[in-house]
Amino acid sequence: MGQTGSTQPNWFEEVRRLTLALVRIRSVSPGEGEIAVAHEVLRLLHDSELEDTYTASGLDLIEHDALDRQNAYAFLRGQSARTIVLLGHIDTVGMQDYGILEPWASEPEALAERIDALATLAPELRADLSDHPGDWMFGRGVVDMKSGVAANIAVMRHYAKRARAGTPPPLSLVFLATPDEENESAGVLQAVRFLLRLRAEYGLEFMGAINTDYITSLYPGDPNWYVYTGTIGKLLPSFLVIGRESHVGDPFDGVDANLLAAELITDLSMSPDLCDTVRGQVAPPPVTLHATDLKDTYNVQLPFAAYFYLNVLTFTSGPADLLARLRVRVEAALERVLAKIDESERHWLAMAHEDERAKRVEPRTGIVLSYEELYERAVHVLGKQQVTAALDDEWERWPAALDKRERSLHLTHRLWQLSGKRGPAVIVYYSPPYYPSIAATPCALHEAVTKVIAAHPREHLALREYFPFLSDMSYLRLDAAADTPALAANMPVWRSPDAPARPGSYSLPLEAISELDMPVVDIGPYGRGAHQRGERLMMSRSFGMLPQLVYEVIEQLRG
C-alpha cells in the first residue's frame, strides 16, 4: 500500500531504542517493576517535548490493586471521532529459567555477548542463528511483548509530531500499556472502564483495538507471519475428588481419591476430543496445571480427597457447554475406575481363596455434581442462611493473599461437608481466571487489515481468526459463547460487580465489556520462545515492518 499524506517513516532504530528501554526494566507480574515500566512508557511518549501535543496522557490507577499499579495512556484527538486503540502489555513472566544467565536476562546487548552460553542452554536457537544471522534480539520480554509496546509508542510519537506540525491524525488514537497480562489481566480490566469514560467525555466512536502481542510460527519451517482477527478463550474447570477413608491395610474398605483423580486426569488431559474446532483452526488440548490430594501430613490413611484443575482453551465452548461435556466424561471415568476397583477386589479375594466373598462384592457407585447442584443440595438440607454463614466462615479462615484457586477449593470442600453426602464423588466447578473467546467480527478494521496484508505479498502475512495464546483482547468484547450466568453459578469465589469487594474474590466488569463491544486484531512482533530462556525477536520484521503495518492500517481507515 502506498503512503498517505506523508513520507514513509523510518521505524527501525527508534523501535529498537524504545524496546531496549522497556526490556531493561524488570517488570515481572505481579510486582512493583510494573509500576516503574509504566512510568518509563509515559516518559518515552512525552520525550522530545511531546507531552502537550496529546489531548490527554498520564497514568490511570487500577482500582483495588494491592500494588497500586497503573496503566499508561495517551489520547490524541484526530480529524475524526472514529478511534483506534493501540494496546499492549508491559509485564513479563519471571526470569529464573535463564539459570546462570539470569543477571543478563533483561539486558539484550549483554545477553548477545553470551550467545554461545545461551545456545548451550537453549540449543533450538542455533538453527535460527544460522538461518537469520544478526537478526535476533534475546531476553525476557523482547517478543512478549515489549517490542510490541515499543512499536505502538513509535506510531503514537509519529502522529504526535505530525499533530504538532499542524496535521492531526486521520483518526483519533488511544494508546494503552497495561500491567498484569501474565497474571489476571487487572490492567486491561481497568482499561475497559477507562475507555468508556474517555468515549463519553470526548464523544468517541471506537472502531476497534490493534493489539501488538507476539506472533510465532505454528510449525517447523512455517514461513508465515500471522495476523489475527479474534482471540482464544480460557476456562479453568476444577475437580474436587472425594473417595472414602480407610486404613491402608484394608484398602478395599475405602476408595483412594488419588486413584480416582488419576483416572480423570488420564481421560481429560491432552484429550483431542475436548478441543474446539472452528473454521479450520483447532484449539490446543486441555492440560492439567495442578493436582494434589488434601493430606498435609504423613499417615497410613487412604487419601480420601484430592483435586486438580484443567486449563481448557476455547473458541466457541462457553461455561455451560463445557461443564455439560465434562460431566459426561467424568461420569464415564468415575464408573470405569470404580468398576476397576470392584474387579481388583474380586481378583484379590480369589487369590486369597475367598471365592464366596468375591462373589458378594457389591458394585461401587459414585455421583458427579456441579458446584451449583452441590450448593442447592446443601441449602435443601440446612437452609440458605446456615450455608451462607458457613461459607462466610470458611472464607474468613484463610489469609487475604491466598491463591484464588486454593480459596475456591476450600469453599467447595466446605460445601461438600455441609451437604452430608458421602463419596465416591466428583464436584466440578470453575476457578479463576476466565478469558472469553472472541470470534472475527465483520467491520471496517478487519477490512483495512485485509487490504494492508494484500499490499505486502513478500512479507508472507497470513490472516487467521483466533489468536492462539491468552491475551488481554479477551476483555474488549463479549461473544455469544460467554455464558456468564453458568460461570457465576459454578465459581465459588465469583463476586457480582455490585457486591462489596472481599479479599480473594473474582469479578469481571461484564456489563462494561458488553458496552465497549470492540472488534480486535493482533498484529505483533515476530519471534520464538516466549516464556522460555530462548525468547528471541526477529528485528527486521518487528522493528521495521510491524510499526509500518500498524501505521498503514490507521491510514487505510481514514476514508
Q: Rounded to whole angstroms, how far apart are CA atoms 540 and 546?
A: 9
| H or E element that contains 159 | helix 147-164
DSSP bridge partners of 28: 92
Chain centroid to CA 490 = 20
Q: Rounded to whole angstroms, how far apart are CA atoms 504 and 404?
A: 6
81 in helix, strand or coil?
coil
57 in helix, strand or coil?
strand
CA atoms within 13 A on the CB side of 63: 12
Q: Residue 503 is placed in which grid cell?
A: 479479599
DSSP bridge partners of 211: 87, 522
List every span in the chain annotated with CATH 3.30.70.360. 234-430
Q: Rounded to whole angstroms, how far apart are CA atoms 317 and 436?
A: 10
List every span in the chain annotated with CATH 3.40.630.10. 12-94+140-232+435-489+536-556
C-alpha dist (Å) from residue 13 to 17, 96, 152, 161, 463:
6, 30, 14, 17, 27
Global pTM value: 0.91
Please write down the long-range contacts of 285-292, taking CB distance under 8 Å and 24 or more positions apart.
286/310, 286/311, 286/312, 286/313, 287/311, 289/236, 290/405, 291/261, 291/265
Taking a C-beta distance cutoff of 8 angstroms, is the pair 87, 209 a contact?
yes
Q: Rounded to whole angstroms, how far apart are CA atoms 114 and 136?
A: 13
**Amino acid (1-letter code) at residue 283:** A
User: Which of 342, 345, 348, 272 shows the shortest CA–CA distance to 312?
Assistant: 272
| H or E element that contains 290 | strand 287-293
485 in helix, strand or coil?
helix
**What pLDDT does 429 receive?**
98
Q: Rounded to whole angstroms, how far apart are CA atoms 60 and 265?
A: 42
- Has domain 234-430 been given CATH number 3.40.190.10? no
Choosing among 3.40.50.300, 3.40.630.10, 3.40.640.10, 3.40.50.12170, the CATH entry for 12-94+140-232+435-489+536-556 is: 3.40.630.10
DSSP bridge partners of 301: 247
**Amino acid (1-letter code) at residue 80:** S
Q: Residue 40 is placed in which grid cell?
A: 518509563
**What pLDDT does 1 receive?**
40
**Amino acid (1-letter code) at residue 555:** E
User: Which of 301, 269, 253 shows the shortest CA–CA distance to 423?
Assistant: 253
Torsion, Cα of 155, 160, 162, 167 (10° steps): 120
pLDDT in tens, the chain (559 residues): 444 444 567 899 999 999 999 999 999 999 999 999 999 999 999 999 999 999 999 999 999 898 999 999 999 999 999 999 999 999 999 999 999 999 999 999 999 999 999 999 999 999 999 999 999 999 999 999 999 999 999 999 999 999 999 999 999 999 999 999 998 899 999 999 999 999 999 999 999 999 999 999 999 999 999 999 999 999 999 999 999 888 878 888 888 999 999 999 999 999 999 999 999 899 999 999 999 999 888 887 778 899 999 999 999 999 999 999 999 999 999 999 999 999 988 888 888 888 888 888 889 999 999 999 999 999 999 999 999 999 999 999 999 999 999 999 999 999 999 999 998 999 999 999 999 999 998 999 999 999 999 999 999 999 999 999 999 999 999 987 677 899 999 999 999 878 888 889 999 999 999 999 999 999 999 999 999 999 999 999 999 999 999 999 999 998 6
**What pLDDT does 6 receive?**
45
**What pLDDT does 336 receive?**
96
Q: Rounded to whole angstroms, how far apart are CA atoms 259 and 421?
A: 20
**What pLDDT does 528 receive?**
95
- Burial class, 52, CB count within 10 angstroms (exposed 0-12 / middle 13-18 / buried 19+): exposed
- Burial class, 87, CB count within 10 angstroms (exposed 0-12 / middle 13-18 / buried 19+): buried
Q: Rounded to whole angstroms, how far apart are CA atoms 85 and 173?
A: 6
Buried b (16+ CB within 10 A) or exposed e, 509-546: bbeebeebebbbbbbbbbbbbbebbbbbbbbebbbbbb
Q: Rounded to whole angstroms, how far apart are CA atoms 90 and 187?
A: 10
Sign of torsion, CA 281 286 287 289? positive
